Amino acid sequence: MRLWFSPLLLLTLLIGLSTAMPVLEPLFQWLQPDKQSVVYERESFLFLLQNHLTLVLVSAAVGTMLAVAGGIFATRPAGRDFLPLVNQVASIGQTFPPVAVLALAVPALGFGEAPIIVALILYGLLPILRNTLAGLEGISPAVTEAARGMGMSPLQVLVRAELPLAGRVILAGIRTSVTINIATAAIGSTIGARTLGDPVIAGLVNGNTAYVLQGAILIGLLALTTDSLFEALERAWERRFTPQFAN
């Protein structure tokens, strides 16, 4: 239970702060005395949090499936010749800034959530792919040979031996990708997506520092909560599988 205490505490703080932001109006009024409105009210913070998180989760799910599949393919005998190509394709996503991806995607997909999801998928591929490759290639050949010696098929070796052993490294890549994309998703507000970037953009346009702080605090707290959750997942994964294969 102690393993999950930190992420649960941060999650409670995140939801509580999203709900109770108007209660902090005197504090923001002190920070921004020249503004009549100091708490962002166009959308509820809980709604923006939910939408922001949905965009990140959808892009992370698609990106993880693509990157892990690409990593598995590139580490099989039939796919090793394609390893440089797989790496290059994934690197393209981080070569282009997300703003540039949005500029190219908006004419084709229109305004809203779709372009930012595409940008987040491309931007999040590389850390997951590299960690998938590192995790799978770091497995001792003796382990896979022992699994084959037990009569396992190649698919069984992958599912029952390789992926459990590489899981923590892959989770670390997903952790990096998702944490980065939580901040990156905020730029979706510039093309009509409803995210926690809304108060930040509104604050910059209107010169309202209170709005900027509200969005930035919640984005930062969401990133900390997510990072803490992945840390707990990595430790739980290690406890579950390391003793099994150590024996």
Count, residues in the chain? 247
pLDDT at 159 (0 to 100): 87
For residue 171, pLDDT over 70 is answered with yes
Residue ranges per domain, the chain? 43-246
pLDDT at 104 (0 to 100): 76
Q: Render the burial of 175-194: b for 16+ CB within 10 Å, e for the rest.
A: bbbbbbbbbbbbbbbbbebb
Maximum separation of any 2 CA atoms in the chain, in Å: 75
pTM: 0.89
Tracing tokens 């290690």 back to the chain, one arrives at: 238
Two structure tokens written together for 43: 């959308």
Residues 10-42 have pLDDT tens digits of 999 999 999 988 888 888 888 888 888 888 988
Residues 110-139 have pLDDT tens digits of 888 899 999 899 888 889 998 998 898 888
Residues 187-197 have pLDDT tens digits of 999 888 999 99
Q: CATH assignment of 43-246, given 1.20.120.340, 1.10.3720.10, 1.10.357.10, 2.30.30.100? A: 1.10.3720.10
Residue type, 87: N
Residues 187-242 have pLDDT tens digits of 999 888 999 999 999 999 988 899 999 999 999 999 999 999 999 999 888 888 76
pLDDT at 242 (0 to 100): 63
pLDDT at 245 (0 to 100): 53
Which residues touch 71 (CB under 8 Å, ≥6 apart)?
86, 128, 129, 132, 133, 135, 136, 170
Cα separation values, 38 from 175, 188, 210, 211, 235, Å? 34, 23, 6, 7, 41
Which residues touch 182 (CB under 8 Å, ≥6 apart)?
52, 56, 219, 222, 223, 226
